[in-house]
């Protein structure tokens, strides 16, 4: 028979908690964002090829700006599309 200690919570207490977002560039010490690597930059755009906001990527302002520049350079060199659909 289950003792009182076994039943602590009715539901998973971690259920409602959101994972804290973080800036991957700061955390992993990435200093330079390469515009020639479209696979990496794909993480920062939505399926239409638009840049995702900082609110969603969690990047710090400094690196979000660098990401934006890198994506724009990649677009100029036709490594990434300006407009598309069903990217990713």
Partner 1 sequence: MNNYEVTFIVDPVLSGDEIKSTAQAYEEMLKDEGAQLVYTDEMGLKQLAYPINKRSSGVYYSLEFKSENHAIIPRLELALRRDERVMRFLSIKLDKYGVKYNEDKRNGLIGKKRSSDKKAKPAAAAKPAPAAKPAPAPVATQAASEEE
Ranges of H-type helices in 1-88: 24-28, 38-41, 54-57, 61-76
Nearest to 60 by CA among 20, 28, 25, 33: 25
- The single residue among 21, 22, 34, 65 that binds partner 1, judged by CB under 8 A, is 34
Q: Which stretch binds partner 1 (CB under 8 A): 2-10, 15-23, 53-61, 76-84?
A: 76-84
Distance CA 28, CA 11 (A): 34
**Is 31 one of the binding residues for partner 1 (CB under 8 A)?**
yes
DSSP state of 42: G
As measured in angstroms, the least distance from the Cβ of 60 to partner 1 is 15
As measured in angstroms, the least distance from the Cβ of 31 to partner 1 is 4
**Is 78 one of the binding residues for partner 1 (CB under 8 A)?**
yes
């Amino acid at each position: 028979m289950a003792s009182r200690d076994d039943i602590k919570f009715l539901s998973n207490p971690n259920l409602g908690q959101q994972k804290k977002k973080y800036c991957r560039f700061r955390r992993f010490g990435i200093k330079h964002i390469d515009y020639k690597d479209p696979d990496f930059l794909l993480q920062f755009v939505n399926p239409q090829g638009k840049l995702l906001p900082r609110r969603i990527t969690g990047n710090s302002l400094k690196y979000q700006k660098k990401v934006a520049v890198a994506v724009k350079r990649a677009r100029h060199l036709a490594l990434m599309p300006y407009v598309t659909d069903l990217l990713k």
